Amino acid sequence: MRILTIESTCDETAAAIVTDSFEVLASVVASQEELHQEFRGVVPEIAARAHVQTILPVIDETLKRAGLTLSELDAIAVANEPGLAGSLLVGVVAAKALCVAHNIPLVAVNHLQAHIFACRLAAQKDVFPCVGLIASGGHSNLYCCQSPLEFEPLGGTIDDAAGEAFDKVAAMLNLSYPGGPAISKAAENGDPLAFAFPRPLLKDTNNLDFSFSGLKTAVRYQVAGQGQIDFSELNLSNQTVADVAASFQAAVVDCLVGKSLLALKRTGLGVLCVGGGVAANHLLRERLEQSCTEAGAELHIAPLALCPDNAVMGAIAIERLQRGLTEDLSLDIIPGLRRIGGVT
């Protein structure tokens, strides 16, 4: 069985072809980083227009690399939730059109479930049940994952996502976009103890939620004080930038690791799976490895290539196909920053 998977939930246009044995025959990702660089964040309308321009060329290139034609596919899968409305529409409309034209089954993919499934792909074995941590530009959520398709929300951010906070702090420090890699690079020369930034909700053991807005504000006050300011006019030394980056990064990592360990304890599960763009952060990966080893928990982190949005993780569609879960042309998008289970 060969499946074309399509991903267009945010600012990457991606397609892949995978088999029912999870072999990746081809994978293509078209990034929009340069388009959003000057805005220091994703602009939804720009993202949607770029998807329109690249979706078919990306699919064509994927088929070419796999040496296949559309008529040789057994199904087409597309991420229809959650994400930016305009971006989602491009992928879903393209998938529907191709399915109708070639009489191919249509499969829906939940983007968040797919991020955790990337851990299963890398492990090459069943990793469920597990606690799932998704940390990205739009999401910072914890789940009890009974199976690839059964997720129960445990907690999530009550304001900003971790990746968004990285982007905003990078902008304050006049670092490049996306902010995650820029902060991580700057932090290499910094002192993580230089500034005592807050760890919101970390000591609250009654819930598994995150909060990064206050941390972001604390960084702002540290580097610029209160009131309106043009951050490009700040004259921060290279060492100050490095120290702020290191201290901020340490605070975010403490929160993500601490709540993940609490989730393991509260659920009684012994496996933690981590996905999303922020999962590529080297300090986070190191701290998770250390903490899970000390706790006697099994850790699976998506490989670096599968942390950002990609279509390979859409291989979760195979799980749906095996359960007979296909869609008709009424399939709609479910945009927004939603937690699985309908909790916003």
- For 141-171, give the DSSP string: EEEEEEETTEEEEEEEBSS--HHHHHHHHHH
Mean of pLDDT values over 224-248: 92
The pLDDT score that the predictor gives to residue 82 is 96
In this predicted model, what pLDDT tens digit does every residue of 25-37 receive, in sequence order?
A: 999 999 999 999 8
Token digits of residue 172: 């304050």
Query: Is 340 a residue whose pLDDT tops 70?
Result: no
In this predicted model, what pLDDT tens digit does every residue of 112-134 receive, in sequence order?
A: 999 999 999 999 999 999 999 99
- Strand 106-110: give its sheet, edge to edge: 24-31, 12-19, 2-7, 75-81, 106-110
Q: Specify the DSSP element, H or E, that contains 7.
A: strand 2-7
The pLDDT score that the predictor gives to residue 229 is 84
- Strand 298-301: give its sheet, edge to edge: 150-156, 140-147, 130-135, 271-275, 298-301
Q: How far apart are CA 89 and CA 67, in angstroms?
A: 27
Helix axes 238-267, 282-295, angle to 10 degrees: 30
All domains in the chain, ordered by first residue:
2-115+308-322 (3.30.420.40), 126-306 (3.30.420.40)
Give the pairing of strands 75-81 and 2-7. parallel
Mean pLDDT of the chain: 95
The pLDDT score that the predictor gives to residue 337 is 61
Residues 6+ away with beta carbon under 8 Å from 67: 25
In this predicted model, what pLDDT tens digit does every residue of 127-185 receive, in sequence order?
A: 999 999 999 999 999 999 999 999 999 999 999 999 999 999 999 999 999 999 999 99
The pLDDT score that the predictor gives to residue 343 is 37
DSSP state letter for 189: T
The pLDDT score that the predictor gives to residue 341 is 46
Helix axes 238-267, 162-172, angle to 10 degrees: 170
Mean of pLDDT values over 205-209: 95
Mean of pLDDT values over 208-214: 97
The pLDDT score that the predictor gives to residue 184 is 98
Query: Is 38 a residue whose pLDDT tops 80?
Result: yes
Q: How far apart are CA 58 and CA 8, in angstroms?
A: 11
Mean of pLDDT values over 42-66: 97
Mean of pLDDT values over 283-311: 98
Which stretches within the chain are classed as H helix? 33-36, 44-66, 85-102, 111-123, 162-172, 179-187, 213-224, 238-267, 282-295, 317-322
What percentage of the chain carries pLDDT values higher than 70?
98
Mean of pLDDT values over 270-297: 98
The pLDDT score that the predictor gives to residue 232 is 84
Query: Is 342 a residue whose pLDDT tops 60?
Result: no
338 pLDDT band, cuts 50/70/90, is low
What percentage of the chain carries pLDDT values higher than 90?
93
Residue closest to 214 by CA, chosen among 153, 260, 168, 276: 168
Query: Is 100 a residue whose pLDDT tops 90?
Result: yes
The pLDDT score that the predictor gives to residue 84 is 97
Residue entry with tokens 């602009």: 43
Query: Is 287 a residue whose pLDDT tops 50?
Result: yes
Do the Cβ atoms of 274 and 290 come closer than 8 Å? Answer: no
